Structure 1
Amino acid sequence: MTDRHLIQNLTTLVALRNTELEKLQTEQAAKAATAERYRKNLERLHELAVASGASGSLPLALAANCGNYKQAVLAMADSHRLDLTMHEADMALSQLAVNRAYVKCEVLTQVLDKNEKALAGKEAVQERKVHDDLATQVWLRSQK
C-alpha cells in the first residue's frame, strides 16, 4: 500500500468517525432537550398540586375529589421522576459513547497527521535529492 493510498484511506476513516461523532452529539442534544422537558413537566405538576389548595377546608365531597386529584398529580410526578432518572442514566451511557467516539476520532486524526508529515518529509527529501543532482550536473558541465 502506497503512502498516498494509506493517507487517502485514513482521511476517509477520519471523515466517517467525524460523521459518527456528530450523529452521537446530535442524539445527545436531543436527549438533553427531552430531559429538560421532563424537568419542566415536573415543575408544572408540582405547581398543579400546590395550586389545588388545601383540601381540609372544603366540604367532604370536594375534599375527597381534591385529595384524589392531588394524589393523581403526585403519582404522575413520581412516574415522571422515575422516567427522568432512567432517561438521565441513558444520557450518561450516551455521553460515554460520545466520549469514546471523540477519542477514536482524535487518535485517527493524529495518525493521519503523522503520516502526512512523514510523507511530506519523504517528498522533501526526494525533491532535495533531485535539486542536488541537477546542481551537480550543472556544476560538472561548467567544469568542462
Structure 2
Amino acid sequence: MSDRLLIQNLTSLVALRNTQLEKLQAAQAEKVATAERYKKNLERLHSLATNSGASGSLPLALAANCGNYKQAVLAMADSHRLDLTMHEADMAVSQRALNQAYVKCEVLGQVLEKNEKALASKGAVQERKVHDDLATQVWLRSQK
C-alpha cells in the first residue's frame, strides 16, 4: 500500500471516529439533561409532599385523603429515585464508552500525524537528493 493511500485511509478512519465521538458526546449530553430533569422532578415531588400541610389538624376524611396523597407522592418520588439511579448507572457506562472512543480517536490521530511526518520527511529527502543531483550536474558542467 502506498504511503499516500495509507494516509488517505487513516484520514477517513479518523473522520469516522470523530463522527462516532460526536454522536456519543451528544448522547451523553442528552443523558445528563435527562438526569437533571429527574432531579428537578424529585425536588418538586418533595416540595409537593412537604407543602401539602399537616394532616393531623384536618377532619378525618380530609386527613385520610391528605395522608393518601402524601403517601402516593412519596411512592412516586421513590420510584423516580430508583429510575434516576438506574439512569446514572447507564450514564456511567456511556461515559466509559465515550472515553474509550476518545482514546481510539486520539491514537488514530497520532498514527496519522506520525505517517504524515514520515511522508513529508521522505519527500524532503527526495527533494534534497534532486537538488544535490542538479548541483552536481551544474558543478560538473562548470569543470569542462
Tell whether the structures are fold-level matches, with TM greater than 0.5: yes
Q: TM-score range by the shorter chain?
A: over 0.9
Q: What per-residue deviation string (whole Å, max 9, x for no partner) do you get for residues 61-116 of structure 1?
A: 00000000000000000000000000000000000000000000000000000000
Structure 1's consecutive aligned runs of 4 or more residues displaced over 2 angstroms after TM superposition are none
Residue 87 (structure 2) pairs with residue 100 (structure 1): no
Task: Establish whether residue 84 from structure 1 lines up as the match of residue 84 from structure 2.
Answer: yes
The DSSP-based 3-state class of the residue aligned with 1:58 is: coil
Corresponding residue number in structure 1 for 2:40: 40
Count matched residues: 144
Task: Give the 3-state SS of the residue equivalent to 1:93 in structure 2.
Answer: helix
Looking at structure 2, the residues matched to 57 and 139 of structure 1 have their Cα atoms a distance apart, in angstroms, of 112
Aligned Cα root-mean-square deviation (Å):
0.3
Q: Distance in 2 between matches of 1:11 and 1:18?
A: 10
Kindly indicate whether residue 132 of structure 2 is the aligned counterpart of residue 132 of structure 1. yes
Q: Does 1:9 align with 2:9?
A: yes
Structure 2, gaps ≥5 residues long: none
Indicate the percent of aligned positions where both proteins have the same amino acid: 86
Structure 1: stretches of 5+ with no match in the other structure: none
Partner-residue secondary structure (3-state), 1:99:
helix
Cα distance between partner residues in 2 of 1:50 and 1:99: 41
TM-score w.r.t. length of structure 1 = 1.00
- The CA distance in 2 between the partners of 1:57 and 1:38, in whole Å, is 33
TM-score where L is the length of structure 2:
1.00
Match of residue 26 from structure 1: 26
Amino acid at match of 1:130: V
